[in-house]
Structure 1
Amino acid sequence: YLGFPAGLSGGDLARRGLAQARRLGAEILSPIEVVGIRRQDPYRVVTLGDGSEISCQAVVVATGVSYRQLEIPNAARLAGAGIYYGAATTEAVLYRDLDVAVVGGGNSAGQAAVYLSRFARSVKVLIRGPDLTATMSQYLIEQMAALPNVEVRPMVQVVGVDGEQQLERATLETIPDGDRQEMEMAALFVFIGQTPRTDWLEAAVLRDKAGFVLSGREVLDGGKPPPGWGTDREPFLLEASVPGVFVAGDVRYRSVKRIASAVGEGSMAVQFVHQYLATI
């Protein structure tokens, strides 16, 4: 991340951001879960998990995404004990001189493989497709090809994992013939996509089929605001299908899925909130 030449973990960045928000006067309610939102003009009412409600005139949704998890036997039991989702930087040092694998063919998987290669004895990148050209940036493909301890295994999927207290091995199935083989490994880093944390929104705002929140011109229907919009202006760039509800970061439809972009969208959303408040 910009300004941290040696790198910075997501947890450290979040803690610093939280401390900064508190210093600037933000009230943090934690731990608590938001379970719903409704429009009650001129307010937007947010429902919390304990049944209480908060009335406000503008809401910024920045709930992010959850990494999809392996739905195979023993995966849940070994999560955090050799199986990791969307993480590599903090755990990599634990697997120095050991054999590990990465599941996934996107840029996140490639970045994890390159980083893990500094510590692990070997890194196997397991992908379902024939190659990485359709899913990964060329610079990452070239970086991995230049690393002697990184190997890409195409046309395979993980169908089982096993181990007593820690992951010890995984069962791989070749595609499409279904042949199976066991692979010894100390850790499995999984990057198989993301699911937006938007179930709590239900039908409150428009979302795509995967659950990402639509905003700006994406909510227009034939060039016109969505039904029930209630104002003659078009939505602001990061405004959802309900006036006064804004979205920023990975939870937004077609967002870049990078921390710098998410931070920038958060800053933009605040500006749009001010513009919205000036109209009511």
Structure 2
Amino acid sequence: MTSAARPSILTVDDDPSVSRAVARDLRRQYGEDYRIVRAESGPQALEALREIKLRGEEVAALLADYRMPQMSGIEFLEEAMDLFPAAKRVLLTAYADTDAAIQAINVVDLDHYLLKPWDPPQEKLYPVLDDLLLAWQQSDRQPVQQVRVIGHRWSARSYEVRDFLARNNVPFRWYELDDGECEAKRLLGAAGHDGADLPVVVTAEGEALVQPTDAELAAKVGLSTTPACDFYDLIVIGGGPAGLGAAVYGGSEGLRTVLVERLATGGQAGTSSRIENYLGFPEGVSGGQLTERARRQAQKFHVEMLTARHVVSLEPRGSARVVRFDDGSELSAHTVILATGVSYRTLDAPGLGDLTGRGVYYGASTTEGPNCEGQDVYLVGGANSAGQAAMYFARHARKVFLVVRGDSLVHTMSRYLIDQIAAQPKIEVLTCTEVAEGAGEDHLETLTLRHNKSGETTTVPASWLFAFIGAAPRTDWLAGTLLCDERGFVLAGPDLVPEGGRPAGWELDRPPYHLETSVPGVFVAGDVRADSVKRVASAVGEGAMAVTLVHRYLEKS
């Protein structure tokens, strides 16, 4: 094999002398066929892996020391799995840490652990790696064939298609017709289309889809859209942190569980570039990584996951709880957990409505980050989601302007984010400021900003506006079925009636459980619940708690 095509073996150990010794032993035995990469900390090793990933190269094996100060070997291997899931994983450990190494076999699918020191390597290191590398070579590592999307840069539907694929972890390549991309024209010609109706999606099998709906797209790119059976123990509606938490716990505790998501798992949290206050991730974790791990965890427990399915009604039917989809089909279960989350409110300013998806976006989209290279980006909102987005776009944009209606971020954003924003020279916070108007032909071109105390307005050139304001519950479809508060958030447990009473129409001889809605057997978790704490950790916790109450309901039914 040529040196340019050599896969890598990466080793990481915080002790420089040990790190050099490991790399030396590996280079002696495997240097002709593999590129040996050495790192002295977990973050340094992850950065090296990202560079390898960007170059389109492979990693055959990862050897990580268990005890490292910034990031343990287990934590490193867990994050490395997201980049190179096929790489063989080896933990280097002292005798005293063998129990931790054995536990890591389940945590990170560890392939082997080696006790230090392993002298002579001919007896204790090379035979182990020989077997692992042979298994890696014989595994199916062919790259996933990519979906190809051809569209216009400032087309709202083109953006929605790219966002849908990205959030569902479907590999795709984007061809922008506006740039005169020759390959885009060739693809359209091969598909027999003149480009009048875009976007066109070409599947990995070569089938051309013209302006596909999300449901059509999901079915063609391998996402599950059809349930395997008609009746379940538990239907979870919504795939954000609360829904994923409920699905994992429902599946792990033996309930026949199906999760239904209208767009993509992860919810608003799934679009976050970095969450740094979630328990167990001291180095932080992106919303996408957290979502993907939770999704894999749910699937491990045999949870069915349906994507691009839009639930339009819920009704009790005897002992069953029935949900109806927008295509008229139905799905039934003993119990339901509502975890539909919230959506960002739209900006009520002239000119912005027609530009949605064409420079005006609600929530962050990681697909747009590279497109903002060297340009100014405006973000509206003062909560954590806006702060995390500001830090993400600062990697790409020339300048990020955070537009905040209040006079500071102190009461709406976590302290760690406020400090990070203050230390980032590319971010400027515009307090007491609102977006008064947007304008543009094919896409957003200018914004008018108004100082809400002085009334002074300023018009600035702008092609990118991302809004993170308010939280609108997605509960219109529940009208007449469940009791909600005046803002549309679902009432549950003690919030339904004062002092442990029972809601109107409640027929059971007990009051509702803590997360139970006004319909017995229907529970609510996460942001859509009235007076919930809008944090990822609390949403996951409520999802798990709801499953416990589901068990209690089933036992007494």
1:170, distance to aligned residue in structure 2 (A):
0.7
Q: Distance in 2 between matches of 1:104 and 1:275?
A: 40
Query: 1:116 pairs with 369, 387, 393, which one?
Result: 393
Structure 1: gaps of 5 or more residues: none
Tell me the secondary structure at the aligned position of residue 343 of structure 2: strand
Residue type of the alignment partner of 1:211: G
Q: Distance in 2 between matches of 1:166 and 1:7?
A: 33
The one of the two structures with greater contact order (alpha-carbon pairs below 8 A, sep at least 6) is 1
1:244, distance to aligned residue in structure 2 (A):
0.4
Residue type of the alignment partner of 1:174: H
Who is 1:39 aligned against? Answer: 316
Identity rate, percent:
48
- Contact kept, 8 Å, 2:321 with 2:336, in 1: the verdict is yes
1:29, distance to aligned residue in structure 2 (A):
4.8
Query: 2:406 pairs with 129, 153, 158, which one?
Result: 129
Query: 1:8 pairs with 279, 282, 286, which one?
Result: 286
Query: 1:243 pairs with 520, 526, 531, which one?
Result: 520
Structure 2 vs 1, CA of residues 20 and 146 (structure 1 numbering), >3 Å: closer, same or farther?
A: closer
Structure 2 vs 1, CA of residues 251 and 153 (structure 1 numbering), >3 Å: closer, same or farther?
A: same
Residue type of the alignment partner of 2:485: D
Give CA deviations for 1:125-179 in whole Å, capped at 9, x if unaligned: 1122222233233333333222222222122211222234443321112224533
Who is 1:256 aligned against? Answer: 533
1:15, distance to aligned residue in structure 2 (A):
5.9
Q: Which moved more, 1:85-94 or 1:193-202?
A: 85-94
Greater share of helix: 2
1:187, distance to aligned residue in structure 2 (A):
1.4
Structure 2: gaps of 5 or more residues: 1-274
In the TM superposition, what are the counterparts of 1:155-174 in structure 2 within 5 Å?
155-174=432-451
Q: Distance in 2 between matches of 1:67 and 1:30?
A: 21
Query: 1:92 pairs with 350, 366, 369, which one?
Result: 369
Q: Distance in 2 between matches of 1:4 and 1:91?
A: 27
Correspondence 1:194 to 2:476: no
Query: 1:273 pairs with 533, 536, 550, which one?
Result: 550
In the TM superposition, what are the counterparts of 1:143-154 in structure 2 within 5 Å?
143-154=420-431
Q: Distance in 2 between matches of 1:100 and 1:231?
A: 54
Who is 2:333 aligned against? Answer: 56
- Contact kept, 8 Å, 1:235 with 1:241, in 2: the verdict is yes
**TM-score relative to the length of structure 1:** 0.86
- Contact kept, 8 Å, 1:88 with 1:116, in 2: the verdict is no
1:19, distance to aligned residue in structure 2 (A):
5.9
1:200, distance to aligned residue in structure 2 (A):
0.8
In the TM superposition, what are the counterparts of 1:60-75 in structure 2 within 5 Å?
60-75=337-352
**TM-score relative to the length of structure 2:** 0.46
Residue type of the alignment partner of 2:385: S
Q: Distance in 1 between matches of 2:440 and 2:283?
A: 37
1:16, distance to aligned residue in structure 2 (A):
6.0
- Contact kept, 8 Å, 2:500 with 2:511, in 1: the verdict is no
Who is 2:124 aligned against? Answer: none
Q: Which moved more, 1:83-92 or 1:182-191?
A: 83-92
Who is 2:487 aligned against? Answer: 210
CA RMSD across the alignment: 2.7
Q: Distance in 1 between matches of 2:281 and 2:405?
A: 36
Residue type of the alignment partner of 1:184: P
- Contact kept, 8 Å, 1:88 with 1:115, in 2: the verdict is no
Tell me the secondary structure at the aligned position of residue 556 of structure 2: coil
Q: Distance in 1 between matches of 2:536 and 2:452?
A: 34
Give CA deviations for 1:87-132 in whole Å, capped at 9, x if unaligned: 1544333223221111112222222223322332211111222222
1:30, distance to aligned residue in structure 2 (A):
4.8
Query: 2:384 pairs with 107, 123, 142, which one?
Result: 107
List, as ranges, runs of 4+ consecutive aligned residues in structure 1 with deviation greater than 6 Å: none
Structure 2 vs 1, CA of residues 57 and 113 (structure 1 numbering), >3 Å: closer, same or farther?
A: same
1:84, distance to aligned residue in structure 2 (A):
2.2
- Contact kept, 8 Å, 2:322 with 2:332, in 1: the verdict is yes
Q: Distance in 2 between matches of 1:137 and 1:25?
A: 36
Structure 2 vs 1, CA of residues 106 and 265 (structure 1 numbering), >3 Å: closer, same or farther?
A: same
- Contact kept, 8 Å, 1:215 with 1:239, in 2: the verdict is yes
Q: Distance in 2 between matches of 1:132 and 1:13?
A: 26
Who is 1:226 aligned against? Answer: 503
Tell me the secondary structure at the aligned position of residue 425 of structure 2: coil
1:18, distance to aligned residue in structure 2 (A):
5.2
- Contact kept, 8 Å, 1:101 with 1:189, in 2: the verdict is yes
